[in-house]
A and B are shown apart, each in its own frame.
Chain A
Amino acid sequence: MKKFAIAIHAGAETVKREDISKEQETQYREGLQEALAAGNAVLEKGGSALDAVVAAIEKMENNPLFNAGIGGNLNIHGETAFDAAIMDGKNLKSGSVGSIRYVKNPIKLARVVMEKCRHNFMVDTGAEEFALSQGLELKPPSHFVTEEKLKSWHQNYYDDYLKGHD
């Protein structure tokens, strides 16, 4: 039987255990399982590792619990902005995007940069213009901002500015 596997993370941080409720823990675990299932579904059918990592990341970008896509952190101006990358171990091709604000799934844009762009790292409005040219789905900035992140931004503005976390 041929080997296949997927592994994921959704952020490392130093937190007090009492700050994470049992309900939150359950939601995190469910979100991780959903992402693994999406990647596994690709691999089981003989799909590529590239397709599997995109499927898993897309699930997590769409999950407001994780710091990517919906639920992303807010910058000093209270805005979301996203970075993403993908790399193919077979041929060392890669695609990266940075500081993008309007693309629903940044990982999909990184993938098309890798496959269809003559550069391998695009940022800001140029990356978004490329997303438009490739027919990727765009969303308004409000799509990505959750009530929880907005509240946290208001409460922790100065502390976060000083220490921060990706």
Chain B
Amino acid sequence: TVGAVALDQNGNLAAATSTGGLNSQLKGRLSDSPLIGAGTYANNPYCAVSCTGKGEVIMRGVLAHEVYALVKYAGEGLQTASEKAVTMHKALLDGDMGLVSLNQQQEVAFAFNTNMMKRGYSLGGAAPLVALWDNE
């Protein structure tokens, strides 16, 4: 799965996600990626979110919207909201998950429970920063 979130100079947020699904998935199986609120969500000015991981778990966790809800209704910061969304229902939603989020204040957050998430960001046109492993 690949995903992107962006903030433009007019203060608008957007999110997009695209995926090839699971290895050996059943024909006709849909992932979380195209489900708004699960794999993809954007709502000015709170956040834009794109998710990756085990689709069935992300759908049941409504992961992208969970980040938005934690920011808007619980008043959490973007990084805290992103981390909580990935970890808060661990007992019920056990599976690999990761996400990237961005808000109108140009804050970027990454959260994942795996040892690798291919990721990167750039602020204001500055040189991009990319990382792969959890300790980077």
Where the two chains meet, the residues of A that have a C-beta atom closer than 8 Å to any C-beta of B are 1-15, 17, 20, 25, 28-29, 31-33, 35-37, 39-40, 43-44, 46-50, 52-54, 56-57, 60-61, 66-69, 71-77, 79-90, 92, 94, 96-99, 106-107, 110, 120-121, 123, 144, 152-153, 156-158, 160-161, 164-166
Contacts and interface: CB of A to CB of B under 8 A. Distances in A.
Contacts of A158: 24
Contacts of A71: 20
Nearest to A71: B20
Contact of A166 (B31, B41, B45): B31
Interface size class of B (residues with CB under 8 A): 35 or more
Contacts of A68: 1-2, 18-20
A160 B7 contact: no
Contact of B2 (A8, A80, A87, A121): A8
Interface in B93-136: 96-102, 104-106, 108, 110, 112-125, 128, 130, 132-133
B18 A81 contact: no
11 contacts: A2-B9, A3-B104, A4-B9, A12-B96, A43-B8, A67-B1, A71-B20, A75-B29, A164-B25, A166-B19, A166-B58
A44 B19 contact: no
Contacts of A32: 118-120, 128, 130
A81 to B, nearest CB: 6
B71 interface: no
Contacts of B40: 85-87, 94, 96
A83 B31 contact: yes
Contact of B22 (A3, A94, A120, A164): A164
B8 A107 contact: no
Given A60-B18, A87-B36, A161-B23, 12 more contacts: A5-B108, A6-B121, A9-B99, A10-B52, A12-B117, A14-B114, A20-B132, A61-B2, A89-B48, A92-B42, A164-B25, A166-B1
B35 interface: yes
Nearest to B111: A12
* Interface SS of A by simple majority: mixed
A166 B125 contact: no
B14 to A, nearest CB: 4
Contact of B123 (A5, A52, A61, A74): A5
